[in-house]
Amino acid sequence: GENVEQHPSTLSVQEGDSAVIKCTYSDSASNYFPWYKQELGKGPQLIIDIRSNVGEKKDQRIAVTLNKTAKHFSLHITETQPEDSAVYFCAARDDKIIFGKGTRLHILP
C-alpha cells in the first residue's frame, strides 16, 4: 500500500523568509496530493492541492510542486508570517488517502 514520508518534522524560519516542506510517496498510482494546515485544537484545513497531470500550482504565497518520476512533492510558503505557524500535513491518494506525519512550522519574530 501507499506510504508517505514527510520532512522535516519541525521547521523554524525567520518571519519573511521562505519555508519548504517535502514529501515522498511510494505508490506510483497515486494521483491526488493535498496539503493541510492544522492549528492548535482545530481540524486540518485544506490549503492547496495538486493533481498528477500538473507539475506546479500556486495560490498567493503558497505553491506546491510535484515530481511524478521521483515520487515527491513539496509545499513552498514565501514571505512567511506569524499566522503561518501551525502543523502542516501532506497526503497522497490513490484508492484511499494516506497522510504524512506532519511538520510543525514555527515562524520566528
Candidate residues 28, 51, 59, 79; the one interacting with another protein per rule CB under 8 A:
51
Decide if residue 3 touches another protein (CB under 8 A): no
Report, in Å, the least distance between residue 47 CB and another protein: 10
The neighbour count for residue 10, using CB atoms within 10 Å, is: 10
Instruction: Examine residue 40 and tell whether it contacts another protein (CB under 8 A).
Output: no
Start-to-end CA span in the chain (Å): 41
Q: Select 2 or 65, whichever has its Cβ closest to another protein.
A: 2
Stretch that binds another protein, among 11-19, 58-66, 68-76, 92-100 (CB under 8 A): 92-100
- The three cell numbers locating residue 77: 510558503
Q: Note whether 50 and 66 are within 8 A (CB).
A: yes
The rounded distance, in Å, linking the Cα atoms of 7 and 89 is 10
Q: What is the dihedral of CA 92, 34, 24, 71, to 10 degrees?
A: 80
Does 42 engage in binding with another protein (CB under 8 A)?
Answer: yes
Q: Is 73 in the site for another protein (CB under 8 A)?
A: no
* Residue ranges binding another protein (CB under 8 A): 4, 6, 9, 31-32, 34, 36, 41-46, 49, 51, 89, 93-102
